[in-house]
A and B are shown apart, each in its own frame.
Chain A
C-alpha cells in the first residue's frame, strides 16, 4: 500500500533519511519505530508530499501523493496535533478541510462525534488540552474516510486514558480493514498495536517484518551462569560451539543460542559446580536500544 524506494532527504550537511526502502501492507497496523531524531517525521512528511525527497520516492497505492485527486479521501494523517490556528474553532478547521476535498458538511459533524468533540466543536482550538487537540487531529485524519492513515507519535504527551483511547482506536481502524502506519519511539507501545514493524535508526532501515519476529530475534534471550570456575566453564562451552560472553559486573557468563538444559549438561559432564543457571530474556525495550545503538555507532564510525 505504501511503498518507499531509496527515499533520501538531506538538510544541508545532515542526512535525515538515508536510502530508505520499505513497504507497508494493506489492512495492517504497521509500526514505524526508531529513536527520536531517526527521521520518522521527515519520512512521514515526504509520504504526504510536504517535504521533497532529495532522492528516491514514496508511493501510496502506486501513486505519488501529489497525483491523488482529493487526497484526504485516500490518506488521512495526524502528524502534529498543534497544526491548527488557536483562534479557529475545531468545526471551522474541519469545515475548510472538507471543502477542499468536496466532502459534505455533514461529514464534519460525523467525525466530531466519532472523536467525541461535538460539545466543544465551536470553541477556539487554542483552548483545547493536548488530548483534545489530538482528537481534533484524528477527526481531520478521518474526514475523508481514507483507506490509509498516518499517525506520527500519536500517544506522545497523552495521559494514560488518552493513550488507551488512541490504542483502541487504532486497533478498531485496523479491524475496519484500513492500513495504519504509526510512528513511535517506544517499542512496548508498538508491540501492543502493530502487527508489522519498520525499524529505522539515523535515517536507515534496520529491519522490517512482523512484530513477533522482531521481538523474538531482538529479545536475544541468554542463559546466565554463575559458579566458582567460570574460566574453565567458558572454555568448555566454547568448545561445545556456543557463543559465550563474560559479564564481570555480574560475575557471570551469558550464553546465547542455547538452553539451560544444554548448558547444565555440559557443566555436569565436565564436573563443574554452578551457583546459578537461569534464562535471562532482555526486555524488548533493551533489545531495541541495543539494536539502534549499534546502528548509531556504525553511522558515526562511517562518517568520522
Chain B
C-alpha cells in the first residue's frame, strides 16, 4: 500500500508489521510521535503488543532487555539525551546478546539544550557494540526496521535504526507500506534457544572471571574476554549477514540493494562526498549542479556505520582524487568520527585519495545548498592543499 506519512509513523508501522511483542518507551522530542503512534496502535487493539509507558529511558531499555531475555520481541525508541541516559543499558543489551531493535530520531545533545537534528547522539554510542543502520528517507526507515528485527535475531546483536530528527521524523513523504503477510514470511517469530524458563532454569549475565572456567560438568566455559571477542567477530560477520538479508528483502519486496553504502554517481567520479543520513539527498542536488559545470563528483552515504563496512567503502574511494567527509557530529578534540574511520580504512590502500573533513548542521543549523557547493568546490579545486583539520560549514563566529 502506498501512503504518505511522517518518518516516525513509518517507523511505528514497521514495528507493528514486525509484530514486536513488548514495547517500552519514554517520550523525547523528536521521537515522541513514534511513541504516541505505537501506544495508539496498541490501545486501539490494532496491534497485539504490551505497551509499557515507563518512567525513563533507562527503564525503557531495562524492560526491553528483560522482556527479550524472557523470549519476547522487544522495541524501544529515543533521541539525544534519552539515548545517553540509557547508555549503560545499551552496553548491557549487547553483552547479553539480545536481539532488540531501537529507533533513534537523531538530535543534538545538551548542554546547551537543542531539540534539533544532528547525529552526535548515536555517534557517541558507536562503541557500545550495537549495529547502527541509518535511513535516508521514509521508505528506508520502514524497511530498515523490518530488516533490523531479522538481522538482530539472526546474529543475536541489538540494532539501532537511526534517522534524522525533524528532517525525516516529522516530514511527510510517500512510501510503500508492505503487507503483513509479506512481512510475516520474511520475518519469522522470535524463538530463542535460551530464555528465562522455569522448566530450564539458567542464571543470565552472571559475574564472569578474567580467565576461562570449568562448569560443573568439567566443560571449559569462556571468560569475559572470550565473550567480548565473540561479540566482535559476530559483529564483523553481521556485514555479510545484512547483505544476505537485504538481498532476500529485495527479492520479496522489490526494494533495497544498498544495505551497507549507497552511491550516487560515484562510478566515474574523481571526487566523492561522504555522509550519513538525509544529507546525502541534499548533496545529490549539489553534485548535479557541479556535474553540470564539468566536475566529476558523486555522493556516498554510509547506511551501516557499525559494524563499519570498510571494504565496501575502500572499494568506492580507492583511486579517487579526494573523499570529502561531511558530518553532523564530531569526536571533540579530534575530528569527525566518520572521517577518522574512513582514513583508517584507506590507510593500507595503494591508491588512497586525499580526505577532507567538514563539520556542519550541529544543533539543527540550516545546511544551505550554496554552502555545500562552496565547500565541495573548494575541496575539488585544491584537494592537496586542504589539511587534516575539520572545516566548519555555515559557522557565524
| B and A form one assembly | no
- Point out residues on B near A: beta carbons under 8 Å: none
- Point out residues on A near B: beta carbons under 8 Å: none
